[in-house]
Amino acid sequence: MSEYGTQSNPLRVAIIGAGPTGFYTAEHLFKQKEYVVSVDMFDRLPVPFGLVRYGVAPDHQKIKSVTAVYDRIAQNPAFRFFGNVQIGKDITVAELRDYYHQIVFTTGAQSDRRMNIPGEDLQGSLPATDFVAWYNGHPDFRAYDVDLSQESVAVVGVGNVAMDVARILCRTPEELAVTDIADYALEKLRNSNVKNVYILGRRGPAQAAFTTPEIKELGEMQDTDAYVEPEEAVLDPLSEASLADSSDRATVKKVEVIQSYAGRPSSGKSRRLTLRFLVSPVELIGNDEGQIVKMRIVKNKLYKTDAGSLRPKATEEMEEIPVGLVFRAIGYRGVPIPDVPFYDSWGVILNKQGRVIDPETQKPVLGEYTGGWIKRGPSGVIGTNKPDALETVQQMLADMASGQVLSPECPDAQAASHFIAEKQPDYFSYDDWLKLDALEVANGKAQGRPRVKFTSVADMLTAVGKR
Amino acid sequence: MKVRRILATKGMRVITIAPDKKIRDAVAVLAEHNIGALVVADAAGQPVGILSERDVIRKAAENEQVFDLFVSDLMTRDVITGMPQDDTHSVARTMTDRHFRHMPIMDEGRLIGIVSIGDILKAERDQYRGEIDTLETQIMADKD
Ligand SMILES: Cc1cc2nc3c(=O)[nH]c(=O)nc-3n(C[C@H](O)[C@H](O)[C@H](O)COP(=O)(O)OP(=O)(O)OC[C@H]3O[C@@H](n4cnc5c(N)ncnc54)[C@H](O)[C@@H]3O)c2cc1C
Ligand SMILES: NC(=O)c1ccc[n+]([C@@H]2O[C@H](COP(=O)([O-])OP(=O)(O)OC[C@H]3O[C@@H](n4cnc5c(N)ncnc54)[C@H](OP(=O)(O)O)[C@@H]3O)[C@@H](O)[C@H]2O)c1
């Protein structure tokens, strides 16, 4: 086998997905000094950054500054970006094997988990994933329709995504107008009729998945009162006991904040956000037109599993709440890439510490790796993907050392870019992105906003002069 | 964090051994896969015990013929199993309180994996590192 990983014959790596994990993978590869590596990063969208651009809430701008780190990684001369190229559609994985020694899938989680209850497909029942993508200006969701003429909305789940969705529904147009929320979403939210938002947790306050700053923020909105049913804010004996003899200060703090909302009298703000605990939706009920009008929920009790965690169990007690819109924020879900082994029940690429595994032989698939949400499931903040990417890169380096890499026919950067341009003439380079970025920021500046996003691929292409 | 998150990056095959195998075989399997414990499963694939390297070493200290014993002689029988939806911090707590380090994970009656206290500590460490990293980014943005 010919030498690779040298100046004249660099190790060629394709990274599929330009979210945080893709960038951290590139960063770790560039940091090691053993091999000369060159990276081509692909994304199905013209623009990079994945959920940092299309997930993170518009009223959380600060965290988006993490992209400055990604910009720096992209400045490495051995880095190239090919946006608007979907692997599995524009280019197949088999074709990539002709050009790269190693391929890393960092495609995130593009879909949602379902509640599996009757009525879930009624009009007004929507995954939070779509709503999030819509208000963030994701090009796939421009035509998305959400009926904000409804007065009452339920958000199922008590993770940070549920917090985001509830906040965006409750913010005033003034609060939103200074963010990079999509213009069409701002318009629609400006005319929103929503008065009541319920957030439904199936377990108690001590098991809520959201973090303390997020729950605190709910109590600090301009025109929305946060409220918790007093009896649901009290910890049940099992939670009380497990919290008492643990040193889990973060949870203690979180419970304190939740309890501070208990029974709070209304301060006359126009919207009300109610956090419910120990309840699960059992059915969505529609009217003759198939539009949701109410939701049946059951009260839960916690029980302790053998392993020690506290799980919900339905009681006999039911309740109905009138709602016209239901967002399920109970988790994202990865989607398979054609020809890549997938573990369907969990929505992840089958892997061992980042090496893609063949389900038949349980042995690694030569030259294929994975990282981030599509590797470990849809959990963790942006920074969590850094140690995750490192674990994968360590496997890649070990395999380079033992010669377990693909033997591409044309391990050549130029040959690769010719091939890509043939398959997708409208690909976006990093320079194209920087141009677009500058335009968005300039358009934002005029309005006192961080940026105004281009929200269709066609507009993006036109803006950088490709059309 | 859920146990599922840890199992997701461990491949999906669980390495098991039958109770009527010799300790010699078990040690070979532990060494081959570089692991610290084996789930002992019956012919139907149901876990009936767990055998850790510690169990073997402890016995070896008093009985040099340890290799000829059966797995069922040394395994721990009352195994506590978990589920993919269990919270990792609760599992870690149960392990420390009850002094064991490995937990087989069952899903709808099927053995799907095993988690060790080491796996949980590593995942939690990575989570905290990530959170710190993210907080730092936010603080730095505040300074600008
Ligand atoms: C709504 C929401 C809000 C969040 N807010 C925060 C927050 O405030 N702070 C925080 O720290 N974390 C937040 N997170 C978590 C954070 O976004 C994730 O940890 C992180 O984005 C996961 O990174 P990733 O690279 O694995 O996936 P992603 O960010 O999803 O990136 C995957 C990329 O792959 C691309 N892709 C997919 N399929 C293909 C294909 N076939 N070919 C080419 N490209 C493809 C996608 O277009 C995407 O750009 C939030 C998550 C969500 C869902
Ligand atoms: N500001 C931020 O930092 C930020 C913002 C958004 C997202 N994120 C991160 O992104 C990741 C994903 O967030 P997420 O909110 O999608 O997931 P998550 O944190 O896993 O929360 C999912 C929530 O849905 C609940 N749930 C799951 N299945 C359910 C069901 N069938 N019925 C009722 N409830 C159900 C869960 O309850 P159980 O616990 O009982 O299963 C949990 O409360 C998280 O790590 C999050 O921290 C961070």
pLDDT digit string (tens) for A20-45? 999 999 999 999 999 999 999 999 99
**Closest ligand 1 atom, residue A86 Cα:** 42
Q: What is the pLDDT of residue A320?
A: 98
Average of per-residue pLDDT across A106-127: 96
SS (H, E, C) A367-429: EEEECCHHHHCCCCCHHHHHHHHHHHHHHHHHHHHCCCCCCCCCCCHHHHHHHHHHHCCCCEC
The predicted structure's pLDDT at residue B144: 60
How far apart are alpha carbons B22 and B17 in whole angstroms?
A: 10
Same domain flag for A70 and A186: no
Predicted model pTM: 0.96
Say if residue A175 is in the same domain as residue A320.
yes
Answer whether residue A465 is part of any domain: no
pLDDT > 90: what percent of chain A? 94
With a 6 Å cutoff on the Cβ, whether A164 touches ligand 2 is: yes
- Asked if A388 reaches chain B (Cβ–Cβ under 8 Å), the answer is yes
- Average pLDDT of chain B is 92
* CATH code assigned at A310: 3.50.50.60
Residue A86 falls inside a structural domain = yes
Looking at per-residue pLDDT, the higher value among B110 and A102 belongs to A102
For the Cβ of A214 lying below 6 angstroms from any atom of ligand 2, the answer is: yes
Is A43 within the bounds of a domain? yes
- Pocket lining: A215 vs ligand 2, CB cutoff 6 Å: no
Q: Residue A1 above 60 pLDDT?
A: no
**pLDDT score for B141:** 74
Judge if A92 and A181 occupy the same domain: no
Contacts for A293 with CB less than 8 Å, ≥ 6 apart: A285, A286, A287, A322, A323, A324
Residue A100 in this model has a pLDDT that exceeds 70: yes
**How many domains is chain A built from?**
2
Give the distance (Å) from ligand 1 centre to CA of residue A349: 15
Determine if ligand 2 sits within 6 Å of the CB of residue A204.
Answer: no
Q: In the prediction, which pLDDT does A341 show? A: 97
Distance A53 CA to ligand 2 centre (A): 19
Q: Which two structure tokens, joined as six digits, stand for B133?
A: 């990293």
More confident residue, A345 or A209: A209
Whether A345 and A326 share a structural domain? no
pLDDT band of B138, cuts 50, 70, 90: confident
Nearest-by-CA chain B residue for A382: B134
The pLDDT-based confidence of B135 (bands split at 50, 70, 90) is confident
Digit-coded pLDDT (tens) for A307-342: 999 999 999 999 999 999 999 999 999 999 999 999
Residue A448 belongs to some domain of the structure: no
Chain B interface test: which of A160, A214, A217, A306 (most B C-beta within 10 Å): A306
- Contact between B129 and A383 using a beta-carbon 8 Å cutoff: yes
Which domains, ranges and CATH numbers included, belong to chain B?
3-143 (3.10.580.10)
pLDDT at A140 over 60: yes
Nearest residue in chain B measured CA to CA from A357: B11
Question: Do both A307 and A373 map to the same domain?
Answer: no
Task: State pLDDT tens for residues A162-190.
Answer: 999 999 999 999 999 999 999 999 999 99
Same domain, residue pair A255 and A352: no
Examine the pLDDT at A279 and tell me if it is beyond 80: yes
What is the predicted pLDDT for the residue at A3? 81
Per-residue pLDDT band for A303 (boundaries 50, 70, 90) equals very high
- Is B4 within 8 Å of A391 when comparing Cβ atoms? no
Q: Could A307 and B80 be called an inter-chain contact, meaning their C-beta atoms sit closer than 8 Å?
A: yes
Check the CA dihedral A147-A153-A155-A156 and report its sign: negative
A91 in a structural domain? yes
Beta strands in A17-69 (DSSP E): 37-43
Query: How close, in Å, is residue A157 to chain B by CA atoms?
Result: 15
Tally of CB atoms within 10 A around A7: 6
* Domain extent at residue A41: 11-110+334-428
Query: How many helices (H) and strands (E) in chain A?
Result: 18, 20
Residue A370 lies in a domain: yes
Asked if A298 and A344 sit in the same domain, the reply is no
SS3 A264: coil
A354 and A316 belong to one structural domain: no
Q: What is the pLDDT of residues A356-393, one digit of tens each?
A: 999 999 999 999 999 999 999 999 999 999 999 999 99
Q: Is residue A136 part of a domain?
A: yes
**Span A193-214, average pLDDT:** 97
CB contact under 8 A, B127 and A305: no
A132 inside domain: yes
**Residue A329 DSSP label:** -
| In a shared domain, residues A221 and A369 | no
With CB atoms and an 8 Å threshold, state whether B82 touches A382.
Answer: no
Mean pLDDT value across chain A: 96
In angstroms, the Cα distances linking A405 to A23, A31, A101, A283, B2 are 21, 20, 5, 51, 33
pLDDT value at position A75?
97
A36, with CB counted inside 10 A (0-12, 13-18, 19+), is middle
> Are residues A317 and A338 both part of a single domain?
no
Return d(Cα A87, Cα A43) in angstroms, integer. 8
CATH number at residue A39: 3.40.50.720
Please judge whether B126 and A384 are an interchain contact, meaning their C-beta atoms are less than 8 angstroms apart. Answer: yes
Q: Sort out which chain A residues have CB atoms less than 8 A from B80's CB and list them.
A: 306-307
Average pLDDT of the segment spanning A67-94: 97
Pocket test for ligand 1, best of A107, A330, A332 (most atoms within 8 A of CB): A107
- Do A286 and A206 lie in one domain? The reply is yes
Tens of pLDDT along B3-52? 999 999 998 888 999 999 999 999 999 999 888 899 999 998 889 999 99
335-374 in chain A: CB under 8 A from chain B: 343, 346, 348, 350-354, 357, 359, 362
Residues A393 and A409 in one domain: yes
Q: Say yes or no to pLDDT of B103 above 70.
A: yes
